[in-house]
Structure 1
């Protein structure tokens, strides 16, 4: 079974599949305030808005990053 790690903010969960990652660096170059491989956790989705995260994740060349949107059932 493939490993997945999830990193959440209020309305989006970033899903990372390390086995798929080709370390192209697109994430770090696009949103360095979110992705820092030297930090733990290395993904901090609260440091960017949802649209910026979605745009960067959609540009991931390996498909190692994806996202799930959180639905607020109180609305």
Structure 2
């Protein structure tokens, strides 16, 4: 897993099957991520996002619940999935 800073305050957290990105400036602290998968999203831990702590499908599902769009993900094929994952 890697934790890298991207453009515009965006930070990436790479796992084996999914990479989660977080844009702090967009976050509204609704905490959908932490309630949905506390083993992946834990603000008391560093790094606070650990994509490999759950199945990539579940991570994508929870990222899709982010009401502000601060969280996004890329799947194994590199497609970026803003908002809700494709059905």
Tell me, in whole angstroms, the C-alpha distance in 2 between the residues paired with 1:23 and 1:2: 19
What 5-or-longer segments of structure 2 have no aligned partner? 1-6, 78-87
Tell me, in whole angstroms, the C-alpha distance in 1 between the residues paired with 2:21 and 2:42: 15
* Cα distance, 1:2 vs structure 2: 1.8
Question: Could you tell me which of 40, 50, 61 is aligned with 2:46?
Answer: 40
TM-score by length of 1: 0.89
Structure holding more strand per residue: 2
Alignment coverage as a number of residue pairs: 71
What 5-or-longer segments of structure 1 have no aligned partner? none
Deviation digits for residues 44-75 of structure 1 (CA, Å, limit 9, x no counterpart) = 1110101101100111000000011233xxxx
SS at structure 1 position matched to 2:8: coil
Cα RMSD, aligned residues only: 1.0
